[in-house]
Each structure stands twice: as C-alpha cells, then as structure tokens.
Amino acid sequence: MAKPILLTVDDDPDVLRAIERDLRSQYGADYRVISSDSPEGALDILKGLKVRNDGVALLLADQRMPRMDGVGFLQEARQIFPDAKRALLTAYADTNAAISAINQANLDYFFMKPWDPPSENLYPQLDDLLGDWRASYRPAFQGIRVLGTRWSPRSYELRDFLARSHVPYQWIDVEGAANDPETKRLLDALGPDAAELPVVLFADGTKLLNGAPAEVAQKVGLRTRAETSFYDLAIVGGGPAGLAAAVYGASEGLHTVIVEREAPGGQAGMSSRIENYLGFPAGLSGGDLARRAVVQARRFGVEILAPQEAVGVRVEGPYRIIKLADGNEISCHALMIASGVQWRRLETPGIDRLQGAGVYYGGGATEALSCKGEIVYVVGGANSAGQAAMNFAKYADRVVILVRGDSLATSMSQYLIDQIKETPNIQLWTHASVAEVHGETHLEEVSVLCSDTNKVERVPASAMFIFIGALPRTDWLAGTIERDERGFILTGPDLMHGGERPKGWTLDRDPFLLETNVPGIFGVGDVRHGSVKRVASGVGEGSVGVQFIHQYLSKV
C-alpha cells in the first residue's frame, strides 16, 4: 500500500531543502515527502494524487510566496484533500496572519522559521497532527477505478469484462457526484478528461479515456498475444469445455493455449448460481467455477489469451493454423473448437438502441446491486434465466420472468422452479413476449404481448435481461468445417452420410466421436451439434476430447 503524503511548498529553495530533510529524517519510514517550489505546482501535484487515490496527511506551506500566499494555497488545497492537516511556515512578522488563518481558514497549526532544533520546534507538534490524522484515516482503494454512468453501454462493457476476468475494480457512478463530494473532487481533479467517459484509473496514476476492454487487458497484464507461434493443442473458447480440455491436455504434457473472445468462463461464467454441479452441494457461482478452472489451467502452464478472437482457420499439411483478430497467427498440431454459443438476439423495436443501457443479454451480475428497489424483467425460461432471477430477487423490488409457454416445466430444472415459487418478489408471467421497449437514454418501460389475450400491456421497467436460446458464432469456420443449418459444428457420426466418410477426409478411419470433417480439429461443448447444453456435459466433452487428440497425435 502506498505511503500517505507529506507535501511541503516554499519558493525559497534553501528553506524547501531544509524542511524536506527534516521531514524525511523523522517521518520517511511511514510517509512519502513531496515538495514543490510554487503553490500552482503543488495544486497540480495534489490533483494528480487525487486521481491516483493517494492519501495526503499534511500540507505545509510557506506564507509569503508570489502570486498566492500560503493561506490561499491551503484554502484551495482543502477543496481537493479536505481531511489533510494544514500548517503554515511563517516568519515572526507574519504571526498575525497565521493566527487569523487559524480562526478563519481552519488552519491546524503554524510554525515559526527557523524551527531549529526540530526535535523541539517541529516534531512534537507534527506528531500530534499526524496522530490525529491517522486516527480517522481509512486507506483508499488502490486498484482499478472505473468512472462512468450506469446507462453507458461502454461503461457496462468494461465493468462486465473486469468482473468476468476477476480483476478487482471500484465502480464510480459520476451521476451521483452532486450528492458525493469525494466523487466531485475526483472529477474536478481530472479536469477536461472527465468528459471522456468512461475513464479507467490505474493504481500507477495513468488513465484510459473511453477505452475498450482489450486496452484495459493490456494495461493490467492480461495476455492477448501468444508467447510462441506453435502449440501442440490450441483451444478456441474458454468456457467449461475449453477450460476442461486445457487442464487435461496441459496436465498430460501438451503445450496448450486458449483463445477466448471475451473472458474465461463463457456463459456459465455469467451464472449467478449453479446448484446441480457435481461435488458442490452448496452450489457455486459461474464466476467461482471459472476462476478455479483458470487457476488450475495456469498451474499446468496453459496460456490464456483474452480478450482475443479467432477469425479464420486453415490447414497446411499436419498443421492447423488459426488467424487472430489482431492479424497474428497461431499454428498447432491439434485444434479444439469450444467457442460455445451466444444469446439469440431479440428482434424487437428499441432493443438495439437500449442495449447496455437497461437492456442486457446474459447474467448481468455486475448490474444486480444497481437494481436495488427497482423492477427487473427476465426474458426466458431456461436455467440461466432462473438463476439470474434468483440473484436479482436479492436486490430488486420485483423480478418478472416472461415466458412464451404456459409454465417453466419444459425448460427449467425442478429445483429452480421450486426456489422461484418460494421467492415472494419473483412473478412468473406466462404466454408473454416482449413487443417493444421504451426509453430515451435508458430503459423505462416494456410493452408485453400476452398471446392468450392478444393484448399488449405497457409496464414500467428499470432493467431487462434476455436469455432466449443460443446460437453459435462459427462463421469464421465457413468453407473449412462442416456445420448444420444453424451453425453448430458436426462431429463424429453426424458427419457420416449413408456410411460414407466426409468429403475430403484423408485418413483410413472414421472421424472420432468429437472430431470434425478435418482430421485433428475437434468440436466440444455447446458449439457442437447435438450437445446437451449443460456445464457438466461441456466439462465431460472437453476432457474426453483430449483423449481423442492423443490418439490423433500418436498417428501424426
């Protein structure tokens, strides 16, 4: 943790060196001593310290300085760090000004020049001042801070990425600045940069204005570029299937890399609670499952590139080559596609305009706290929707689940149905679909079509989370990998047409159970045609797929 600051200001270089020396001698072990030869320079330093979230314990300024005297400086500095102790260095002739400042400007103390010996004329008084300051000091958060507005899609994108990547951060909603003096002081310190929201502030004092997740990832040390150009096993997708394959592959000696478009965990990583996963009787969140799996994979030496996207694939002899979005390429002996699925878009007027501003696809764990006392709509009837509804119910005044059918029984696990029935602030609205969403800068109302009455009801809503089926993102495989009409990857027996092997198949054997039409390229998890769409089955396919990869590599 950074040491609190003692800032001293004097335009006389001899006096400045002397006070610096004495402060460092006595307090250097517990504080950082910073100096400035002008009040204007000192104010700039304080604004930078505010942006860094550093603590300032003491402001010690000479009274007689050009353009701005010490009292004037301390009054302005108080607007930036109101809790710092304030003291003057004065000559005998300025004693009356110092006494007046104590009464009128909330000065804490004044010291006469010269202060020799400091053991009598400086340190005892400073000890008291710093002791008082320490008694009420609470160290500020030292990690990443994100400043933005709740209804900003870019702000939501950054917060969601940091949360899913397990990077600690503090969210500061600048719309509350009028009621939060500390936020207002921070915005004042940022100056014109405060208009470039969202602003990401890093612990080293640097900042990113209106940045994207990839820029934040690079700054915080997340890997987006591969260490080498060749791997035994490359995995596209960092959900449960991809992470399981990485753990089993790397633990069995395969040099392994994962390419993940967003953040490790996939859709499962966004689940607020998974209660039917074997071995966790109390349940666990999707984020916890992803975090544990990532730690496990890295322990075995797996490289994880995130956020990074695969945009193309080609085959050259025994090598399978992935083209990445940044223009780089990775080659491998075996490729596993575990890219999962994305939520199907809701084709409704107003949806695209309000996405990220009250309308969200997926779990929205970062938004749950913001929904306190509000009305939240969850669209969809599968387990992900039920888990999200249970999570939002802890904070929202009311959660409404919209489903097209007449019940949840056909798509949701019974344990979740029972929990929803027992939660008084969750309402199930059957035979219902979203006809339109309304709002200028953010979601305000939802028009719901009731299919049993054919009537549309317009209701107030603060947030809406959509879980309406899923489709794979596999266009980048077109022309190389066979897929079904919806884009899911065909593997194993699904490739055999009338007992015939796939067109272009070159090996004297049928494709393995999880192998695509290209030898050495495998498909596992939700992206595969016919998969079960459960976390446990994805983990199982990822681990089983590695055994087929070993068999393939043994013959290469």
pLDDT at 177: 75
Percent helix, strand, coil in the chain, to 5, is: 35, 25, 40
Structure tokens at 385: 């929707």
**pLDDT at position 391 over 70:** yes
pLDDT digit string, tens, across residues 168-226: 899 999 987 778 899 999 999 999 999 999 999 998 889 999 999 989 998 988 888 99
Three-state DSSP state, 222: coil
| Arithmetic mean of pLDDT over the chain | 93
pLDDT at 94: 64
Query: For residues 163 and 551, which has the higher predicted lDDT (pLDDT)?
Result: 551
The DSSP 8-state label assigned to residue 374 in this structure reads S
**pLDDT at position 316 over 70:** yes
**pLDDT at position 256 over 90:** yes
Q: Which residues of 289-326 are buried (b: 16+ CB within 10 A; e: fewer)?
A: bbbebbebbeebebbbbbbbbbeebebeeeebbbbbbe
Q: Can you list the domains of the chain with their CATH numbers?
A: 5-136 (3.40.50.2300), 144-220 (3.40.30.10), 230-342+472-480+517-555 (3.50.50.60), 351-466 (3.50.50.60)
Three-state DSSP state, 298: helix
- Pairwise CA distance, residues 163 & 171, whole Å: 11
Element (H, E) at 458: strand 455-460
Q: What percent of the chain has pLDDT over 70?
A: 98
Confidence of residue 156 (pLDDT cuts 50, 70, 90): very high
What residues does 144 pair with on adjacent strands?
Answer: 169
- Pairwise CA distance, residues 387 & 384, whole Å: 5
pLDDT at 93: 59
CA-to-CA dists, residue 305 to 227, 228, 343, 473, angstroms: 10, 12, 22, 18
Structure tokens at 509: 């054997």
Task: Taking residues 32-39, report their average pLDDT.
Answer: 97
Antiparallel, parallel or unpaired: β 207-209 and 199-201: antiparallel
What residues does 447 pair with on adjacent strands?
Answer: 436, 458
What residues does 361 pair with on adjacent strands?
Answer: 466
* pTM, rounded to two decimals: 0.84
CA-to-CA dists, residue 269 to 224, 290, 345, 384, angstroms: 19, 6, 20, 11
Can you give the three-state secondary structure of 407-451, one letter per residue? CCCCCCCHHHHHHHHCCCCEEEECCEEEEEEECCCCCCEEEEEEC
Q: Which residues of 148-157 are buried (b: 16+ CB within 10 A; e: fewer)?
A: bbbbbbbbbe
pLDDT at 104: 66
Three-state DSSP state, 225: coil
Nearest Cα to Cα of residue 371 among 347, 344, 349, 389:
389
**pLDDT at position 363 over 90:** no
Among 119-123, 266-270, 415-419, 534-538, the range scoring the smallest mean pLDDT is: 266-270
